Chain A
């Protein structure tokens, strides 16, 4: 298959995933037995006496009075034109609401990912390179611990120690780099836990490859072999996971931004679910699917750079 054919197939697959995510959330949110209109009118929680006329008017406004298939096609058509409906909380378009909050979350997620990559590379390298069994054992027991800690709890403990006890960082808000430190660390821990496990495993098996022996036989020091040869080869398995990791970071931002009262997509999602704001929740899920496919496509572009052998694959498939 030609390169163009390969690219077209990949783009088609990406579009399919986003469409399927849209359809799945539509099915979950609009077809499950709950009435969004009653939820909206019943915001305060009390008052079972909803005005039927008002309910009918709202129903017509949101198109809930039409058959399901018509609703679906209308929404899908609008979504293709970049319109995911309006938030039920404030009537603002879903897309602009999300886009406005996105930069804050992107900065948080990028910082967290950077921390996770640095920490996990150091931990995994140290575990692979150390001669001491005890140290390796200690280092490798850290990731399972990191994965077992509820991130909301970790955030609260960090707040307790570093904001309230020591006063090093502000407890809430989005201003300045100081406010970014604690949330980014909180968000980085689960990611680093996963990354360290994968990296340690693949670095360890790369060290047993024949080319490493050759490099050592040439007289290269262990550090050079590790940095120049092993890391480059051992990092490839982590690339395949990068989309899932970034997706989980987005989901983790929901908890982190709630704990630290930061503005962002995460807290937007938390409050959207709280007030059962269906269009906004669907928008966030579609966003996560878009992020997933874009990151996967990007990872495909990066593969040949990291490993030139892969560059030939598309042409031969």
Chain B
């Protein structure tokens, strides 16, 4: 026992040496598109964390005199049928919409990674069964699966986030599992095993760090689709109850004023598009980063 424990660190040294060392990359400037994406994400994150800094007014404050004002100097995004400032509502809604999105991605990431990691690492029959189940979940369109889960759980922002997260588990599991199988067959994992490193040490020291890259890419991509899914579900009426300025419900609220007040739906929608585009751009940059390593 003690022999093994003493041997293990010594034996892993050459393994560390063979692991790909990132070459010194030329210092290069970030692409302007990526900078813009990061600015958008940072701004929206700021809205979520400190809404009152960006929009000091009360999002539910009704000003009868200011009903349905078009976007202008006083109200950048205009006002709604009750005279509430839409920009303020979008800023304050960021916390709800983004935390739901983050929770969804986190659930997909953590649960999916655990399932994929176990499945790929254990292998054999277990792997077969889990992957068939993942195949089936991937065959059901994500939005329908999320709607089925919402049916069972009930309504509200938290439940919508849970549903979107659960329906993203299969994609993460599939990706991680493929990566784990690839890494597991590599020479340095074999070397670690031969030299007597315990399996969970191999898992977190070698397998996990090496399969993390593609997962982060998928997580960033999933961030974009989770924003869309969460806002779609709250648009359909399964999200937070009315006064909450959730982005999907803001867009939905404007439906009755399509003919007269275009800004009620258009403005929050543009914000959603900007966030999704930014998340996708980030995902692409991470992907390229991972490939050039």
- Distance in Å: Cβ of B52 to nearest Cβ of chain A: 27
Q: How far is the CA of A159 from the CA of B266 in the complex (A)?
A: 12
| A251-B254 in contact (CB<8A) | no
* Residue with the greatest number of chain A CB neighbours at <10 A, chosen from B132, B150, B152, B251: B152
Q: In the complex, which residue of chain A has the Cβ closest to the Cβ of B135?
A: A17
Within 205-228 of B, Cβ neighbours of A (below 8 Å) are at 224, 228
Q: A159-B258, A281-B148 are in contact. Are A254 and B143 (CB under 8 A)?
A: yes
With both beta carbons as reference points, the residue of chain B lying nearest to A34 in the complex is identified as B152
- B79 within 8 Å of A by Cβ? no
Residue in contact with A29 in the complex, picked from B135, B151, B254, CB distance below 8 Å: B151
> Does any Cβ of B come within 8 Å of A150's Cβ?
yes
Whether A145 and B277, one on each chain, are in contact in the complex, defined by CB atoms closer than 8 angstroms, is yes
B144 proximity list for chain A (CB < 8 A): 250-251, 254, 269, 284-285, 288
Residues of B within 8 A of A17 (CB): 135-136, 139
- A28-B148 contact given A156-B265, A247-B140, CB 8 Å threshold: yes
Asked whether A248 is an interface residue with its Cβ less than 8 Å from the other chain, the reply is yes
Contact (Cβ within 8 A) B272 A150: yes
**Which residue in chain B gives the minimum CB-CB distance to A22?**
B136
Q: Which of B15-23, B58-66, B99-107, B234-242 contacts A (4 or more CB under 8 A)?
A: B234-242
- Contact partner of B136 (CB less than 8 A), chosen from A21, A34, A159, A252, is A21
Q: How many A-B residue pairs have CB under 8 A?
A: 141
In angstroms, Cα B153 to Cα A278, docked, is 11
Q: Name the contact of A255 in the complex, choosing from B136, B235, B255, B258 (C-beta under 8 A).
A: B235
Q: Is A164 an interface residue (CB 8 A)?
A: yes
Q: Give every chain A residue within 8 A of B269 (Cβ-Cβ).
A: 149-150, 153, 156-157
Q: A147-B280, A148-B277, A285-B145 are in contact. Are A157 and B266 (CB under 8 A)?
A: yes
**Closest residue of chain B to A147, judged by CB?**
B280
Cβ distance B117 to chain A, nearest Cβ, rounded Å: 22
We find that the number of chain A residues with CB closer than 8 angstroms to chain B is: 49
The listed residue (A148, A157, A269, A278) touching B280 by CB distance below 8 A is: A148
* Residue from A17, A28, A272 with most neighbouring chain B CB atoms (10 Å): A28
Contact partners of A25 in chain B: CB under 8 A: 148
Q: Which residue, of B132, B136, B147, B148, has the highest number of chain A Cβ atoms within 10 A? A: B148
Determine if B255 and A156 form an interchain contact, defined as CB atoms under 8 angstroms apart. yes
Chain A residues with CB under 8 A of B224: 148
Q: Range of interface residues on chain B?
A: 35 or more
Q: Check if A160 is an interface residue, CB within 8 A of chain B.
A: yes
A269 touches B139 (CB 8 A): no
Whole-angstrom distance from the CB of A56 to the nearest CB of chain B? 22
> In the docked arrangement, what's the CA distance between A91 and B236, Å?
24
CA distance A29 to B132 in the complex (A): 20
A292 interface hit (Cβ, 8 Å): yes
**Is the CB of A32 closer than 8 A to any CB of chain B?**
yes
Asked if A20 contacts B136 (CB within 8 A), the reply is yes
Q: How far is it, in angstroms, between the C-alpha of A243 and the C-alpha of B269 when the chains are bound?
A: 29
The B-contacting residues of A in range 211-257, CB under 8 angstroms, are 243, 247-248, 250-252, 254-255
Complex interface residues of chain A between 264 and 284 (CB less than 8 A to chain B): 269-270, 272-274, 276-278, 281-282, 284
Whether B147 contacts A24 by the Cβ 8 Å rule is no
> Would B132 and A152 count as touching, CB distance under 8 A?
no
Among B139, B149, B232, B259, the most chain A Cβ lie within 10 Å of the Cβ of B139
16 residue pairs of the A-B complex, CB under 8 angstroms, read: A20-B132, A24-B140, A28-B148, A150-B248, A152-B251, A153-B273, A156-B251, A157-B265, A164-B258, A251-B142, A258-B236, A269-B144, A270-B237, A274-B236, A278-B151, A289-B136
Which 4 residue pairs across A and B have the least CB separation, nearest first? Answer: A153-B269, A251-B141, A32-B152, A164-B259
Name 16 extra pairs, CB < 8 A, besides A156-B265, A157-B269, A289-B139: A32-B152, A144-B277, A147-B280, A152-B232, A153-B269, A156-B254, A156-B269, A248-B143, A250-B141, A254-B147, A255-B232, A269-B144, A273-B236, A273-B238, A276-B151, A288-B141
Interface residues of A (CB under 8 A from B): 16-17, 20-21, 24-25, 28-29, 32, 34, 144-145, 147-153, 156-157, 159-160, 164, 243, 247-248, 250-252, 254-255, 258, 269-270, 272-274, 276-278, 281-282, 284-285, 288-289, 292-293
